[in-house]
Amino acid sequence: MNSCGYCSGQRSGCWCSQSGSGCRCKERGSHEPANVVKCSHSRLPPTCCSVEATATRKEDGFIMPSGIYQRPSVEERFWAKVNKTDRCWLWVGGKDRKGYGRFQLNYKSLKAHRLAYELTMGNIPQGLTIDHLCRNHGCVKPTHLETVPNGVNVLRGIGLTAKESRQTACKRGHPFDLFNTYFHKGIRGCRACRQEANRLRYNLRKGIH
């Protein structure tokens, strides 16, 4: 709480931080500084309201600005957190554990690259996701973002599923062609390796070495 000469002590409802001759609460007959007009938020400093400015008064060379303070738009807030390099537009704000940028909007945490696409290219079609063509999760450059089905996005990545899908032969060198490939519960397998495994199990049962 602030001290006030008019209050002769401390009052929770007084905004005046001066005492003695600097306090003007007495001449107004209230616990408010003479150069302040209260905003709708009572018992808070006049700077609490970022939309409505307080009144001005020339006093000791100090002029408090007046008028309407405009808050920055979503676009201004968003692009202020982007470092545009020659290759990628790097997000310099908060990120998650996977390196994707996060942006706070309406009390929600949004993925920065998805919002960048919506701000520049329009809404993301239903059922599609955003793929980073540059493979940089922290990039928000619109030309590096493409809407694709989730399955395509996974196969383009660097995960285990994507790596195995790009293999043209099994670990023993047998080709994954039309005649040597089979699928079981969505998993690709090698026929030659399966036949060899079946032969070894048969010989083990029969005691053939």
| In the chain, domain spans | 1-71, 74-163, 167-206
Could you tell me if residue 99 is left (phi over 0), alpha (psi between -120 and 50 degrees) or otherwise beta? left
pLDDT band of residue 38 (cuts 50, 70, 90) is: very low
Q: Are strands 89-91 and 82-84 parallel, antiparallel or unpaired?
A: antiparallel
**pLDDT digit string (tens) for 68-78?**
667 889 999 99
Least confident of 99-103, 110-114, 142-146, 170-174: 170-174
148 pLDDT more than 90: yes
DSSP letter for 47, please. G
pLDDT band of residue 41 (cuts 50, 70, 90) is: very low
Query: Is the CB of residue 140 less than 8 Å from the CB of residue 132?
Result: no
The most confident of 92-101, 156-165, 195-204, by mean pLDDT: 92-101
DSSP H or E segment with residue 152: helix 150-156
- What is the pLDDT, as a whole number, of residue 63? 58
| Residues 6+ away with beta carbon under 8 Å from 155 | 161, 162, 165
| Helix%, strand%, coil% for the chain, nearest 5 | 25, 20, 50
Other Cβ atoms within 10 Å of 25 Cβ, number:
20
Of 123, 175, 129, 177, nearest in space to 156 by CA? 129
What is the C-alpha separation between 62 and 34, in angstroms, rounded? 13
Mean pLDDT, residues 177-192 taken together: 87
pLDDT band of residue 185 (cuts 50, 70, 90) is: confident
Query: Which residue in the block uniquely carries the two structure tokens 């408010």?
Result: 32
Q: Which of 188 and 60 is assigned the larger pLDDT? A: 188
Percent of the chain scoring above 90 in pLDDT: 40
Q: What's the CATH fold of domain 74-163?
A: Homing Intron 3 (I-Ppo) Encoded Endonuclease; Chain A (3.90.75)
Mean pLDDT, residues 57-83 taken together: 75
Of 86, 83, 85, nearest in space to 101 by CA? 83
Mean pLDDT, residues 39-43 taken together: 45
